[in-house]
Amino acid sequence: MLRGAAYVIDGDTIVIAKTQIRLFGIDAPELDHPFGKKAKWALVALCKGQTITAEITDVDDHGRTVAKCHLPDGRDLSAELVRQGLAIDWPKFSGGVYRDLETPDARKRLWLADARQKGRMHVWEQFEARRSGSNRP
């Protein structure tokens, strides 16, 4: 268990006591994707001035610590971001615990995260290629 101030990296990643933590069970957009910065700043607003408690659950394929993170009042950071429509449930990792909290338009708004979850990486790659100005398919 880790406890302390959180430095926010992006919409689903924080650092507590020099440990990078991936929020359990959700997927938020990357910073350079639609709604990415909005997701990050929503997480900053939730964490600012708070002592966050991180209950470590796993280490992901990228070596990051995965944890269920809570505010002092008991609110789950993952649940709060999903409720705000700035992250979606990732059933592969959450078992679907946040799915009912998703806003009706979340998967449409966060279409790149949804595509990644469904293994449609060509959608992601096409977005990246268009954004970088490349003409690759």
Q: Taking the model in full, what pTM does it have?
A: 0.90
| Chain segment 37-49, per-residue pLDDT in tens | 999 999 999 999 9
CATH of 2-131, one of 3.40.50.620, 2.160.20.10, 1.10.1040.10, 2.40.50.90: 2.40.50.90
pLDDT 10s digits, 107-124: 988 888 888 888 888 887
Query: Rounded distance, CA 25 to CA 93, Å?
Result: 5
Three-state DSSP class for residue 4: strand
In angstroms, what CA-CA distances link 75 with 14, 39, 79, 83, 86?
16, 17, 8, 12, 16
CA pair distance 91, 96, nearest whole angstrom: 4
